[in-house]
Amino acid sequence: MMSQKSEIIRSAFKGRDRPLLSYGIDFHTAACHHVSKTFNASRVYVISSRSLASQTNALEDLKNALESDKVVGCRIGMQSHTLWSEVLEIVEEARNVKADLLLTLGAGSLTDGAKIIALALANQVHTVEELETLAQGPHKRSQINEPTIPIISIPTSLSAGEYSDFAGGTDDHSRRKFSFQAPTRGPQLVILDPKLVQSTPSSIWLSTGIRAVDHCVETLCAIVGVTPESDDLAEHALSLLIPSLLQCKKDRTNTDAHLQCQLGSVDAMAACTSGSVQLGASHGIGHQLGPLGVGHGETSCILLPAVCKFNAAHNANRDQQMRVREFLIRDKVVSEVLQSHSVDVENSDLGDILDVIIRELGMPRSLSEVQVGRDKLDGLATHSLHDRWCQANPVPLKDKSQVLEILEMVV
């Protein structure tokens, strides 16, 4: 449905009331309207990325639109992969100012942080030990209260965690990333502004775009939980994402290409969260590679082609991979890229096709490019075995040697 000033406001996912999706007007105008009218909130705690706060007027524009008396707290900057220490700092601040809404302005780690913060607030958490009892693992509480404080997210990357009810947070001491699942709740409203995201560094924009591509590919290549609807959503998302990412690579002022990337990331998340799709090791190992200092999107750039090759080599999902390969090479933009790289298409598998696309975007393809050396592989493999998506991979990863086989392809 349409509202005034050409805002488009709709459900992000078919058949689900929330999250709502807003686009078509400036992010700060949309935020001001929905804080008051949709959520009836008057005590907003803002979590902003440091770069947006220091290098753009985005935070200032947001505060001015919301009116100073409604912004009762503001955190500028969180480290990647959502450190527990920072989560707890914000929990205390938000509790002390009696915040009734969390608003994130920036990329994925802030959103995961807000989800965990809302959960912690609802469960009177004050310490690291108490926080761990909300995460998946042997210390998880039997009874966990649902979050009550709503979240609005204004994302500036394409990781699409805004559309998920899951969150990842990293224990500062062990550097292990933990999963927070039900009753964790994602944002109730996501505001898209393709002009705002043109300020996102290309390395982040394009790499997180491949993260969204990873959602699509691991959905289409899954062997458990897939449906015709999830396949259709994933293919549609790929048709938006890959050509638009390549256009953004050439021209960061192309507003429509940026919006198509954003809408593609929505459908990508809709695909992998519809039904009971079981994703794979690109996501699973990536969750544990991240805390070593690798960006959310870069993990997919490095791992996705290798995981495809590993699964194909072990005869797990060859038919699914062939279908995705055929879908990609039919795309005119992809075909032109393959031709420019002199790729022997007939003798190339899905991993090869994805490798060329990622290289065309200028993204890293090896661990050495992101300063992860061999000395980290053993710990990375050990941590990865705890991740649910490694266990759900088309070839279930049950032994450290399997993870190391994948890592050796990209070391």
**Nearest CA-CA partner of 170 in 131, 199, 142, 200:** 131
Residue % of the chain over a pLDDT of 90: 87
122-163 pLDDT, tens digit each: 999 999 999 999 999 999 999 999 999 999 999 999 988 899
The residue among 162, 191, 220 that closes a domain is: 191
Q: In this model, does residue 404 exceed pLDDT 90?
A: yes
230-260 pLDDT, tens digit each: 999 999 999 999 999 999 999 999 999 999 9
The residue among 191, 215, 236 that closes a domain is: 191
Q: Is residue 391 part of a domain?
A: yes
Sign of dihedral through CA atoms 114, 119, 121, 122? positive
Check which CATH number belongs to the domain holding 259 and give it.
1.20.1090.10
Same domain, 291 and 387: yes
231 Cβ contact list (under 8 Å, min separation 6) = 219, 220, 271
The residue among 191, 215, 241 that closes a domain is: 191
Same domain, 275 and 173: no
Confidence of residue 3 (pLDDT cuts 50, 70, 90): very low
Same domain, 207 and 176: no
Based on the structure, what is the number of domains in the chain? Answer: 2
pLDDT at 68: 72
Q: How far apart are the C-alpha atoms of 53 and 343, rounded to whole Å?
A: 43
Q: In this model, does residue 4 exceed pLDDT 80?
A: no
| Cis, bond preceding 194 (omega within 30 deg of 0) | no
Q: In this model, does residue 1 exceed pLDDT 50?
A: no
Q: Which position has the higher pLDDT, 119 or 80?
A: 119
Same domain, 55 and 125: yes
295-306 pLDDT, tens digit each: 879 999 999 999
Q: Is residue 196 part of a domain?
A: no
Residue % of the chain over a pLDDT of 70: 99
